[in-house]
């Protein structure tokens, strides 16, 4: 058994090259090979969001607080809220983030393929975010 004490892992400001707006990330777990799991608590201020991206084995989000938005490429924007679980298929191009006037926090869980958890793509434009 391993216990990771609360507060022992620093929260970071997410890099602007992958996010729009202020986003905080707190790593929860990253398992060593042969395991592939990574989980991160991600908090978005109103209007903040990821860039478009994919995951080799898909991604699961569990919204823990607030309300936000998520969208897959070519699909409609979906409203998400605390308690929702969102599942993206392997290779599914998508983005997610807070609503325009509400913050949102979720646990992001994904597995790595050859050490790669995510493939970051282009920025979500304001027009795409607004729908």
Residues 6+ apart with CB under 8 A from 50: 18, 19, 20, 23, 95, 96, 97, 124
> If pLDDT is split at 50, 70 and 90, which confidence band does 34 have?
confident
pLDDT in tens, 77-127: 999 999 999 999 999 999 999 999 999 999 999 999 998 999 999 999 999
pTM of the predicted model, to two decimals?
0.94
For residue 33, what pLDDT band results from cuts at 50, 70 and 90?
confident
Domains and CATH numbers, the chain: 12-130 (2.60.120.10)
Q: What is the DSSP letter of 60?
A: E
**What spatial distance separates the first Cα and last Cα of the chain, rounded to whole Å?**
46
């Amino acid at each position: 058994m391993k216990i990771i004490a609360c507060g022992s892992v620093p929260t970071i400001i997410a890099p602007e090259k992958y996010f729009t707006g202020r986003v905080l990330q707190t790593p929860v777990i990253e398992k060593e090979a042969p395991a592939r799991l990574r989980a991160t608590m991600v908090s978005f201020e109103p209007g903040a969001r990821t860039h478009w991206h994919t995951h080799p084995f898909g991604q699961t989000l569990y919204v823990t607080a607030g309300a936000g938005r998520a969208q897959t490429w070519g699909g409609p924007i979906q409203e998400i809220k605390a308690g929702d679980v969102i599942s993206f298929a392997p290779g599914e191009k998508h983005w997610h983030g807070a609503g325009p006037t509400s913050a949102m926090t979720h646990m992001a869980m994904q597995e790595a393929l050859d050490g790669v958890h995510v493939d970051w793509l282009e920025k979500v434009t304001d027009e795409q975010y607004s729908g």
